[in-house]
Amino acid sequence: MGGAGNRQRVWDSLRVNPRPWWKSIVFWSGVPGLVFLAWAWCDSNRHFRSVIYYRKPLIHLLHGEGAVSLSVVEDGPAAVSSIKPPVVGIYPDGNSPYRPSPTWFPSPSFESVGDEGRGIGTDTHVVIPYWMLTMGHLLFWAGLMEIRRRWIRRRMIRSFEDA
């Protein structure tokens, strides 16, 4: 019985004194994504990590040289379908011939090449740099923080008009 009145008082105090931005769930929900992107960006300049799915279409996802790249071959060679599981390759050592060259700000790219006459199929290759993913995450996060700020402002204006 006393709990409902207590909740109302807490709600009324939040109307007048909203929580600061660093205590909001919107702020703290964006931190793990930013930490993950920073780690992945740094890691991509030290190691290549690759997943290849050998089916039709052949899909190759590569993490390295400051970017994530995705390649899709629609109608690859017939030998591709004989390999059963996807192949995961991680090349962590410095002596690997696949060691990436440190590229912190590579440019994004999109390429689609097809040669149906030779039976190779269509190859689509997309490169998305980590700096672009990080900027997109920061812009989305800042947009959510701005929406939160406007929502709190409207709520406070309404509470003062009701009083």
pTM, full prediction: 0.70
Pairing of strands 48-53, 58-64: antiparallel
CA distances from 152 to 17, 20, 82, 143, 157 (A): 10, 10, 59, 14, 9
Flag whether 6 is in a domain.
Answer: no
Flag whether 106 is in a domain.
Answer: yes
Flag whether 102 is in a domain.
Answer: yes
Flag whether 152 is in a domain.
Answer: yes
Flag whether 16 is in a domain.
Answer: no
pLDDT band at 79 (very low <50, low <70, confident <90, very high): very low
pLDDT band at 29 (very low <50, low <70, confident <90, very high): very high
CA distances from 36 to 12, 87, 88, 130 (A): 37, 24, 21, 11
pLDDT digits (tens, 9 = 90+) for 92-137: 544 455 555 677 888 888 887 766 555 556 778 899 999 999 999 9
Instruction: Kindly state the average pLDDT of the residues 131-156.
Output: 92
Flag whether 116 is in a domain.
Answer: yes
CA distances from 24 to 18, 141, 142, 157 (A): 10, 12, 13, 20
Total domain count, the chain: 1
Amino acid at 37: L
* Structural domain boundaries enclosing 53: 25-162
Flag whether 96 is in a domain.
Answer: yes
98 within 8 A of 134, measured Cβ to Cβ: no
Flag whether 7 is in a domain.
Answer: no
